Structure 1
Amino acid sequence: MNSLFTALIAKRIVATVSALLVIAIGCVAGIWQLGRAETKIALAANLQARQQMPILSANQGPWTLGEASERRMIARGQYIPEAAVWLDNRPRPIPPAGSTNAQSGFYLMMPMKLEGKDLVLWVNRGWAPRNNENRETLPPVQTPNKVISIEGIVFAHPGKVYELGSGKPTAYEGKPRIEQNFDLTIEEMVHGWSQAPFILRELEVGVDDGLLRDWAPLTNGVDRHYAYAFQWFALAFAGFIFWLLSGLREIKRQNSGNRYRGDQE
């Protein structure tokens, strides 16, 4: 067996190197996909554990990002709708059943002036679909014109998408702001107010305000990572099998040729 593999390698250097390259790429990519899946599972477990901790109150702060990150929080105050930011190119968190295409839309980021405090809290109120015919036609959303209480989960930011340009906020004169990404530091400089160092992603509270809040779990896509890992490992295995079978056929062909020449002599 050792002599056979030695012959397969020695007589087919280029094919062997090519096969090793395919096998290495397949194994490394497969292991990376498994790592991605495990990372998501660990993050989801950590998030669930932090959500089991006592609920914080934004009005009783101040809270740092480290103290509040990924924990449940309640907040009482009044929205400032004229300062809202619509984050574009955001897919619907959980597509409808049977749908294969991710519907594009907006996250509505809206500041809330906390009751009894000189502090603003940015809230990701939810997702709404985009008008495909006119990008600047925003979906109808209802905003309470009074002090309300909300509950959500604390995050450092609402998620980022690829953006061309400087990323500075666009100046709108009397028009809603449509941005690709959201930066708390920039918003604080633009408005000149004191604000919490995190955003609150509002949970579903059964209010029909035109926004969806069926947020995707952090483990979303884990099965896809496992499927990709299987494909990469299958590629590595196929590369090895192809190298082995093609080599065996070549050796068999050479042996047949040698026997034929021997009979001729």
Structure 2
Amino acid sequence: MKPLNSLFSALIKKRIVATVSALAVIALECAAGIWQLNRANTKITQAANLVARQQMPILNANAQIWTLEEATQRRMIARGQYISEAAIWLDNRPKPILVGGVNTSQSGFYLMVPLRLEHRDEILWVNRGWAPRNNGNREALPPVKTPSGVVNVEGIVFSNPGRVYELGDGKPSGDLTKPRIEQNFQLEIEGRLRGWNQTPFILREEDAGVEDGLLRAWSPLTTGVDRHYAYAFQWFALAFCGFIFWLTTGVRQYWRRGAVNEVSCILIKSY
């Protein structure tokens, strides 16, 4: 037991600061790894829920007033007319992953256009799709086609089109009577500014094979799961390396002290 007690003393008692620091770093790295695993599990759960809700009967936006709770992540069809002059281009949006292709991570816009529902005094905002940004002139909007007559739109209901980091107060800028570029879309604020009666959700249009200059190959919710697993492995590996470093340095100090004590004993006996 004496060697074990000596080893314990060398590793911990005589290295309190190093031990506490090592424990703090290891705990922090393990927590980061667990967080990454939780993020991956959350995405997988959300994707499963989305698939389940998409298999439910398709809703009709023109049939009645729908709440967000009733419609979220459900398939929905809507009939109405686009108000193209009120379009909003959401900047700094990554290119959706192409079906069977590779994501080039090109930056561009999401095109949000209000749809005036037929036979209803209600506006439904539609995320019509993605278009590339003009890198030479940010203010130059992509050439896309917006139908002028009554159209049928089918897609999936979401509470918002997603947010990106934004400097400032996030209030709408520019003339409300013409298309404008914004960082984020705020449904309630748009309704108040325009005095519109709006649905409490947006519709993300699905690809129907229409050539209008917009890409609608939306990225699945599970995008990035493998990356989360890789990050989690890295954090756990760092935690393990931190433990090994703490252990090996302590053992080396223990052996070094043992060798010094042994030499000291030999010298004393020689005298």
Name the TM tier (shorter chain).
over 0.9
Shift of 1:118: 1.7
1-structure distance, mates of 2:88, 2:211: 20
- 1:45 is the counterpart of 2:52: no
2-structure distance, mates of 1:174, 1:36: 41
Match of 2:95 among 68, 92, 97: 92
Root-mean-square deviation over aligned CA pairs = 1.6
Which whole-Å deviations, capped at 9, do the CAs of 1:93-123 have from their partners, x for residues lacking one? 2279455x52111000001111222211110
Which whole-Å deviations, capped at 9, do the CAs of 1:76-97 have from their partners, x for residues lacking one? 1111101101111111122794
2-structure distance, mates of 1:29, 1:2: 33
Which whole-Å deviations, capped at 9, do the CAs of 1:26-85 have from their partners, x for residues lacking one? 111111111111111111111111111110011102101110001000111111101101
* Paired residues of 1:158 and 1:182 also in contact (CA < 8 A): yes
- 1:124 is the counterpart of 2:127: yes
Match of 1:157 among 149, 160, 165: 160
Match of 1:217 among 217, 220, 223: 220
How many residue pairs get aligned? The number is 264
Shift of 1:131: 0.5
Equivalent residue number for residue 72 of structure 1:
75
Shift of 1:212: 0.5
Q: Percent identity?
A: 67
Gaps of 5+ in 2: none
Shift of 1:136: 0.6
Match of 2:239 among 231, 236, 253: 236
User: Where does 1:111-260 land on structure 2 (aligned, <5 Å)?
Assistant: 111-172=114-175, 175-260=178-263
Which whole-Å deviations, capped at 9, do the CAs of 1:183-239 have from their partners, x for residues lacking one? 111111222222211100000111110000111111111111111111111111111
Change (3 A) 1:206 1:234: same
The aligned amino acid for 2:194 is H
Change (3 A) 1:175 1:194: closer
Change (3 A) 1:49 1:173: closer
**Partner secondary structure for residue 70 of structure 2:** helix
* Paired residues of 2:86 and 2:178 also in contact (CA < 8 A): no
Shift of 1:264: 1.7
The aligned amino acid for 2:201 is F
* Paired residues of 2:84 and 2:179 also in contact (CA < 8 A): no
The aligned amino acid for 1:144 is P
TM-score by length of 2: 0.93
Change (3 A) 1:45 1:2: farther
